[in-house]
């Protein structure tokens, strides 16, 4: 039987409805340290989207992308532990829509899933942009042969990505099936309206 309770009152977290969570607040989760003690780990919310999902059975689904690139989903009939305070250091580091929001390699550990490196090694650069602070963006096009419902008329799989090299850390945006969608994202980045 546990002789401790989480969350600790000193952590300052509250049980919030997903609709109350804002960018810059920190989602909280219970962690057990190597010495057996229990604590709270915080991750900043940098992106929020709302829409219906199959998990919500017709209700509203909330999706929170945190600063580590992880995606946290919550239906409208749930609550999440979060710290309600918004501190300047917890806000996203750049203005605009966070497009390149997945850590490169985040999918590599999932069984049966071709990892990010598999696709990256089969891409070629279509365009490149360097932001004033040194972030480097590349619009990449990849194709290979495999059984997939996205095969082109020649029997090849193809997709487009926007990658961000951010001072030694590599991030990736969601794959796009058409060049128009990918270039639209890339143009937002060039204009300073996304990152």
Residue 74 pLDDT: 93
Cα–Cα distance, 161 to 172 (Å, whole number): 7
Cα–Cα distance, 112 to 97 (Å, whole number): 31
User: Token pair 């309206």 is at which residue?
Assistant: 193
Task: Return the DSSP state at 151.
Answer: B
Given a contact cutoff of 8 angstroms between Cβ atoms, the answer to whether 68 and 92 are in contact is no
Residue 155 pLDDT: 57
Q: Which two tokens stand for residue 126?
A: 């279509």
Q: Which residue numbers in the chain have pLDDT < 70?
A: 1-5, 52-58, 144-157
Q: What is the dihedral of CA 54, 55, 57, 63, to 10 degrees?
A: -90
Question: What is the tens place of the pLDDT at every residue in 13-39?
Answer: 999 999 999 999 999 999 888 888 888
Residue 101 pLDDT: 94
Residue 49 pLDDT: 92
Q: Where are the extended beta strands (E) located within 52-181? A: 61-66, 71-75, 80-83, 102-103, 123-130, 136-144, 157-166, 169-172
Cα–Cα distance, 91 to 46 (Å, whole number): 7
Residue 1 pLDDT: 41
Q: Which two tokens stand for residue 195?
A: 């990152």
Cα–Cα distance, 104 to 65 (Å, whole number): 15
Residue 5 pLDDT: 67
pTM attached to this predicted model: 0.80
Strand partners, 81: 15
Given a contact cutoff of 8 angstroms between Cβ atoms, the answer to whether 44 and 115 are in contact is no
Cα–Cα distance, 106 to 73 (Å, whole number): 17
Sequence-distant (≥ 6) Cβ neighbours of residue 148 within 8 angstroms? 157
**3-class DSSP state for residue 185?**
helix
Residue 116 pLDDT: 81
User: Token pair 């960018």 is at which residue?
Assistant: 23
């Amino acid at each position: 039987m546990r002789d401790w309770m989480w969350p600790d009152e000193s952590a300052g977290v509250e049980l919030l409805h997903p609709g109350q969570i804002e960018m810059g607040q920190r989602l909280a989760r219970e962690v057990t340290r190597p010495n057996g003690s229990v604590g709270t780990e915080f991750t900043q919310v940098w992106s929020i989207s709302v829409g219906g999902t199959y998990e919500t059975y017709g209700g509203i689904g909330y999706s929170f992308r945190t600063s580590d690139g992880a995606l946290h989903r919550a239906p409208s009939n749930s609550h999440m532990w979060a710290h309600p305070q918004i501190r300047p250091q917890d806000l996203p580091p750049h203005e605009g829509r966070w497009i390149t929001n997945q850590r490169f390699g985040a999918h590599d550990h999932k069984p049966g899933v071709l990892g990010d490196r598999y696709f990256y090694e089969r891409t070629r650069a279509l365009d490149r942009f360097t932001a004033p602070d040194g972030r480097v963006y590349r619009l990449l096009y990849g194709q290979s042969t495999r059984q997939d419902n996205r095969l082109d008329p020649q029997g090849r799989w193809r997709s487009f990505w926007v990658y961000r090299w951010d001072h030694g850390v590599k991030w990736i945006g969601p794959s796009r099936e058409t060049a128009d969608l990918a270039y639209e994202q890339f143009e937002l980045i060039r204009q300073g309206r996304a990152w």
